[in-house]
């Protein structure tokens, strides 16, 4: 498969040219574009719901452990161990993706309804749909791809600049897990 | 409403009958509905708590002399203490090896539907768990039982990460799958040998088919909250049992079975759980490491306090000398400098 970032860029450039040609002032065109956007989001939700039902049906309760790297945003500098099952991990991924769609819709709603931009509507009917199909979770469950290589759990965080790799990926090696497992980090009272 | 002659002419009764009360009726109706829903929710929770008690009473009565919050023989037997519209607790005591049994039932906030709905919505968008009806049981073994210090738990895979995060003692254990357990559960234990000894046949039978009820069953000597003081780390053996509130007859049977197994477990722990030296050493090592960690943070806090005090003293001195006359100030300054130099010299000579 072609690198997702590159294909995104190509689509973006092409769509920018295309959207210049489209007369957004025409009410019928506007209606069509809005319809396309709504349809696209319905498709995305349907896709995620279907994936979720596939995960529930498979019900893979294999235990998986990994050490989540500390994130500077959350304020904690301690990396922590996540003990979960394949099913719960996958469901979590679907939930995160669904939340992302909600965020996108909220942003689009603001841009289109409040700021009266129409151009992004077209772009936003294609890109999220494409990235939804590219989600590892959808690839594994819908297309039946094996969970190895790029699709190995825990999934790598997608980044634009994956050359450097700031070491923000989850660790799964035995040593790191064993170390974090008995660290006694639970039950911390929040102040 | 403009006050005009027409309205004043028809008198009070006339005004009441003519006025359009529609919006007031709607408002009062909504308030009444809300109040009714509140009472309905409160009684629903009460019923759920009653059902839990009624269904578990035979099991508890078989094991304990006193079941319920009133002493045996009291005129008005009371099963529960109602702590709030969502919290009920009950108590049992009077059994060999067990000091007491405390069950706390925590229900959804059915008395406030608006808040409950909000909780559901928030739980979707944030990492806050959705409200659930659950029961938390704590069994405190008596001192005579002499239960050893160790941590062992059977944990439902559903929510096991939260369990590890919420409970200090669980985050000191290793999680492992086992073919002795149903696929839905894991062991969290300090050592495989502990698991071998503690996981009785009765427990195994009780856990079977309990995936919709049992969240975890743990035996621990360490607390739920991470301690900040050395006293907090003092071992205090206890059994903690967390279940969802059963909803069907079958689930109630499972719940009773687990509670009974947990109670009987204390007897077997009291009589036989003595570890091999290697295992005992491992258990000790974990506690010593934790003690050191706490000591370290305590020391750091102390050092910080000391530094703050020193700074304060220095500031005070500066303030004092500022109040003196210029002559006296110069003298004090010189004295201080000399003192520092002497200190430096003695340090240097020490190094040599």
- Segment B206-248, tens digit of pLDDT: 999 899 999 999 999 999 999 988 888 888 999 999 999 999 9
> Comparing B97-106, B177-186, B218-227, B272-281, which segment has the lowest mean pLDDT?
B272-281
Say whether pLDDT at A190 is over 70.
no
Put simply, whether B175 touches A (Cβ < 8 Å) is yes
What ipTM did this prediction achieve?
0.77
Which of A61, A65, A186 is closest, CB to CB, to B168? A186
Question: A113, A101, A116: which is closest to A41 by C-alpha?
Answer: A101
Higher pLDDT, B42 or B6: B42
Query: Distance (Å, rounded) from C-alpha A186 to C-alpha A182?
Result: 10
Mean per-residue pLDDT over chain A, rounded: 84
Q: Which of A5-9, B201-205, B255-259 has the lowest mean pLDDT?
A: A5-9
How many other C-beta atoms can be found within 10 angstroms of the C-beta atom of residue A17?
A: 8
With contacts defined as CB-CB under 8 Å, which chain A residues touch B169?
186-187
User: What number is the average pLDDT over the span B51-63?
Assistant: 93
What is residue A24's three-state secondary structure? coil
Domain map (residue ranges) of chain B: 32-275, 282-351
3-state secondary structure of B105: strand
Contacts of A185 in chain B (CB under 8 A): 165, 171, 226
- pLDDT confidence tier of residue B337, bands split at 50, 70 and 90: confident
Place of tokens 């990235």: A131
pLDDT per position as a tens digit, B128-171: 888 999 999 999 999 888 888 899 999 999 889 999 989 999 99
pLDDT value for B351: 58
3-state helix, strand, coil in chain A (%, to 5): 60, 5, 35
- B122, B156, B161: which to substitute to probe chain A, counting the most A Cβ within 10 Å? B161
- Least confident segment among A26-40, A133-147, B6-20, B36-50: B6-20
Of A127, A114, A185, A187, the C-alpha closest to A7 is A127
The C-alpha angle B111, B116, B121, rounded to 5 degrees, equals 170
Chain B CB within 8 Å of residue A191 CB: no
User: DSSP string covering B152-203, please?
Assistant: EEEEESTTHHHHHHH-TGGGGSEEE--TTS-TTEEEEES-HHHHHHHS-HHH
Which of A60, A186, A190 to probe by mutation at the B interface, max B CB count within 10 Å?
A186
Pick the residue from chain B with its C-alpha nearest to A188. B226
Is the pLDDT at A164 greater than 60? The verdict is no
What distance in Å separates the CA atoms of residue B89 and residue B229, rounded to the nearest whole number? 29
CB atoms B174 and A88 under 8 Å: no
* A179 has a chain B CB within 8 A of its CB: no
B228: tokens are: 């900040």
Predicted confidence band of residue B70 (pLDDT cuts 50, 70, 90): confident
β-pairing verdict for B87-93 and B185-189: unpaired
* pLDDT score at A150: 80
Cα distances from B93 to residues B63, B66, B344, in angstroms, run 9, 5, 68
Q: What single string gives the DSSP state of each residue in B303-331?
A: HHHHHHHHHHHHHHHHHHHHHS-HHHHHH
- Average pLDDT score over residue span B249-274: 89
Q: Which residue of B has its CA nearest to A185?
A: B171
Conformation bin of residue B33: beta by default, left when phi > 0, alpha when psi is -120 to 50: alpha
Q: Tokens at residue A51, please?
A: 């994936």
Chain A hits for B175, Cβ within 8 Å: 63, 65, 83, 181
| Core vs surface per residue B315-348: b (16+ CB within 10 A) or e | eeeeeeeeeeeeeeeeeeeeeeeeeeeeeeeeee
Is pLDDT of B2 > 80?
Answer: no
**A183–B contact, CB cutoff 8 A:** yes
Take residue A58 and report the two structure tokens written for it. Answer: 């498979």
- Is B171 an interface residue toward A (CB < 8 Å)? yes
- pLDDT in the model for residue B115: 92
Give the residue extent of every domain in chain A.
4-157+168-181
Chain A residues touching B286 at Cβ < 8 A? 182
Q: Does A73 have pLDDT greater than 80?
A: no
pLDDT for A161 = 46
In sequence order, which ranges of A59-169 are alpha helices (DSSP H)? 86-109, 119-134, 136-141
Q: With contact defined as beta carbons under 8 Å apart, do A67 and A185 qualify?
A: no
Q: Pick from B284, B262, B254: which is nearest to B97 by CA?
A: B262
- What is the Cα Rg of chain A in Å? 20
User: Residues with Cβ < 8 Å from B343, sequence gap 6 or more?
Assistant: none
Contact of A63 with chain B, judged by CB distance below 8 Å, is answered with yes
Contact A181, B176 (CB under 8 A): no
Most B CBs within 10 A among A61, A83, A85, hence the mutation to make, goes to A83
**pLDDT(B127) > 70:** yes
């Amino acid at each position: 498969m072609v690198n997702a970032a590159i294909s995104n860029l190509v689509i973006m450039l092409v769509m920018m040219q295309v959207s210049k040609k489209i007369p957004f002032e025409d009410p019928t065109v506007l209606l069509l574009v809005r319809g396309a956007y709504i349809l696209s989001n319905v498709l995305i939700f349907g896709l995620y719901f279907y994936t979720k039902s596939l995960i529930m049906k498979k019900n893979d309760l294999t235990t998986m452990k990994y050490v989540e790297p500390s994130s500077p945003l959350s304020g904690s500098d301690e990396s922590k161990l996540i003990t979960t099952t394949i099913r719960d991990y996958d469901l979590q991924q679907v939930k995160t993706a669904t939340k992302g769609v909600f965020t996108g819709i909220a942003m689009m709603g603001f841009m289109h309804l409040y700021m009266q931009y129409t151009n992004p509507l077209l772009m936003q009917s294609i890109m999220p749909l494409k990235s939804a199909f590219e989600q590892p979770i959808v690839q594994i469950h819908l297309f039946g791809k094996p969970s190895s290589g790029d699709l190995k759990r825990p999934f790598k965080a997608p980044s634009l600049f994956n050359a450097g790799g700031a070491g923000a990926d989850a660790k799964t090696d035995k040593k790191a897990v064993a170390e974090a497992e008995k660290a006694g980090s639970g039950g911390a009272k929040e102040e | 409403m403009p006050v005009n002659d027409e309205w004043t002419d028809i008198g009070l009764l006339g005004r009441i009958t003519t006025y359009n009360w529609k919006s007031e009726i709607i408002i009062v109706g909504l308030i009444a509905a809300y109040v009714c829903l509140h009472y309905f929710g409160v009684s629903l929770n009460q019923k759920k708590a009653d059902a839990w008690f009624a269904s578990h009473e035979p099991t508890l009565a078989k094991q304990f002399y006193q079941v319920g919050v009133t002493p045996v023989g009291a005129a008005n037997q009371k099963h529960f203490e109602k702590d709030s519209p969502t919290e009920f607790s009950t108590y049992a005591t009077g059994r060999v090896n067990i000091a007491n049994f405390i069950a706390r039932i925590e229900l959804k906030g059915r008395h406030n539907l608006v808040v409950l709905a909000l909780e559901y919505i928030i739980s979707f968008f944030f990492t806050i768990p959705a409200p659930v009806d659950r029961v938390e049981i704590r069994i405190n073994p008596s001192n005579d039982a002499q239960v050893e210090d160790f941590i062992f738990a059977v944990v439902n895979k559903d929510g096991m990460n939260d369990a590890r995060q919420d409970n200090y003692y669980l985050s000191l254990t290793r999680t492992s799958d086992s073919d002795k357990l149903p696929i839905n559960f894991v062991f969290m234990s300090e050592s495989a040998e502990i698991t071998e000894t503690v996981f009785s046949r009765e427990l195994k039978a009780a856990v079977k088919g309990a995936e919709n009820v049992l969240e975890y069953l743990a035996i621990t000597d360490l607390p739920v909250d991470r301690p900040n003081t050395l006293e907090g780390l003092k071992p205090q053996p206890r059994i903690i049992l967390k279940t969802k509130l059963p909803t069907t007859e079958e689930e109630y049977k499972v719940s009773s079975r687990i509670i009974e197994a947990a109670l009987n477990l204390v007897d077997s722990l009291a009589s036989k759980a003595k570890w091999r030296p290697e295992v005992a050493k491992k258990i000790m090592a974990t506690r010593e490491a934790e003690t050191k960690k706490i000591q370290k943070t305590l020391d750091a806090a102390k050092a910080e306090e000391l530094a703050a005090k020193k700074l304060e003293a220095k500031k005070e001195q500066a303030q004092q000398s500022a109040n003196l006359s210029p002559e006296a100030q110069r003298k004090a300054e010189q004295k201080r400098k000399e003192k520092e130099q002497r200190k430096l010299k003695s340090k240097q000579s020490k190094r040599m």
